[in-house]
Amino acid sequence: MGRKTAASSAKSKEKRMQRKEEQNRISQAMAVVAQANKLEDPLQPFPVFRKFNKNGLEAELFAKKSTNLDEFIKEWSFNLTKKNMQLKYEQCSWGWCDSKKREELFDEAAWYLVAKGLDGTLLGFSHFRFDIDEGQEVLYCYELQLDPSYQRKGLGKFMMQVLELVAFKNSMKKVVLTVLKNNQSSKFFKALNYELDESSPIDDEEESYPYEILSKINKRLVPHQSPMKVNSHHCCSGHDHHH
Ligand SMILES: CC(C)(COP(=O)(O)OP(=O)(O)OC[C@H]1O[C@@H](n2cnc3c(N)ncnc32)[C@H](O)[C@@H]1OP(=O)(O)O)[C@@H](O)C(=O)NCCC(=O)NCCS
């Protein structure tokens, strides 16, 4: 009500512009995600990364949407996740629920990166999605599970490198994941230079969270800065939210 002054209408115009800009950004992000979800084979540009051979372990990798995945691979991925994670979920406030995990794993937005041995033995998999997270286009790694017999041979690290290649090739802003604090895997992801994401919840007197959110940023999409600017940025530290 009442008359708008020149200053207040300028302000509301600015707000409208900001809203419009934000909407444009989100629809751009959604278009990038939709494009990635149309891929037939995300590994196609990286033939070298279809094979792993290290520490006496040989593997072949492929990537598929959950809707195209064989039933027995789906069943195996559920059983492996349950074997690796059930106790850890039960030891914190999350709890374990078969049907919820199945729903998440077999959602039609789910993508799989699967590693199998040369004789066809299934070794490990990642469930990932191209998605919008906190308004940004990201590759969200929901799961990385290796059969215990094939852990600590470098395959997990290799699979994360493949996910990063796929994410950044398809213009995702970052690779994001949630890890339980009671799980050794935090050490694994930190060894791979994953950092606490700005969306990771911070414990206070009222609530402590059993998980943290880690991420790796796509450096190619960070605006280019001159050396002078990089220095000054470093001095005022853009990383305060990490502490
Ligand atoms: C976590 C997991 C994916 C790691 O894959 P991996 O193939 O075993 O790990 P890598 O051999 O590639 O390890 C790379 C580096 O990460 C670190 N690392 C890996 N596992 C670690 C552990 N349990 N404790 C401490 N550091 C670890 C090490 O620095 C390691 O290098 P090194 O072996 O030369 O010391 C795998 O162990 C796994 O499936 N665990 C059970 C399921 C799980 O917790 N998944 C993650 C949450 S979704």
C-alpha to C-alpha distance for 172 and 177, rounded to whole angstroms: 14
Cβ–ligand 1 distance for 188 under 6 Å, the answer: yes
Q: Is 148 in the pocket of ligand 1 (CB under 6 A)?
A: no
Beta-strand runs (E) in 134-209: 136-146, 174-180, 195-196
Distance 145 CA to ligand 1 centre (A): 10
Q: Which residues pair with 126 in a beta bridge?
A: 113, 144
Q: Ligand 1: distance of its center to the CA of 1 in Å? A: 62
- CATH number at 37-242: 3.40.630.30
CA distances from 140 to 21, 146, 228 (A): 25, 18, 33
Cβ(151) – ligand 1 distance below 6 Å: yes
Measuring CA to CA, how many Å separate 13 from each of 1, 24, 106? 17, 16, 45
Dist. CA 155 → ligand 1 center (Å)? 9
Ligand 1 near 154 CB (within 6 A): yes
User: Which residues, 6 or more positions from 56, have their beta carbon under 8 angstroms from its beta carbon?
Assistant: 153
Is the CB of 141 inside a 6 Å radius of any atom of ligand 1? no
Write down the pLDDT at residue 94. Answer: 95
Torsion of CA 220, 221, 226, 228, to 10 degrees: -100
Question: How many CB atoms are located within 10 Å of the residue 177 CB?
Answer: 25
Q: What is the pTM of this model?
A: 0.89
Q: Looking at ligand 1, which residue's alpha carbon is closest to its atom 48?
A: 143
The C-alpha angle 198, 199, 205, rounded to 5 degrees, equals 100
CB 192 within 8 Å of CB 157: yes
Cα separation, 28 vs 203, in Å, equals: 34
E strands, the chain, where? 51-54, 57-65, 111-116, 122-133, 136-146, 174-180, 195-196, 211-217
Q: Rounded to whole angstroms, what are the CA distances from 16 to 11, 13, 19, 21, 22?
A: 9, 5, 5, 9, 10
Q: Going residue by residue through the chain (243 aa), what tens digit of pLDDT does each one get? A: 677 777 778 889 999 999 999 999 999 999 999 999 999 999 999 999 999 999 999 999 999 999 999 999 999 999 999 999 999 999 999 999 999 999 999 999 999 999 999 999 999 999 999 999 999 999 999 999 999 999 999 999 999 999 999 999 999 999 999 999 988 899 999 999 999 999 999 999 999 999 999 999 999 887 665 554 444 333 333 333 333
Ligand 1 touching residue 186 (CB < 6 A): no
> Which of 151, 177, 182 for mutating ligand 1's site (highest number of atoms within 8 Å of CB)?
151
User: Whole-angstrom Cα distance, residue 39 to residue 137?
Assistant: 16
Residue 146 near ligand 1, beta carbon < 6 Å: yes
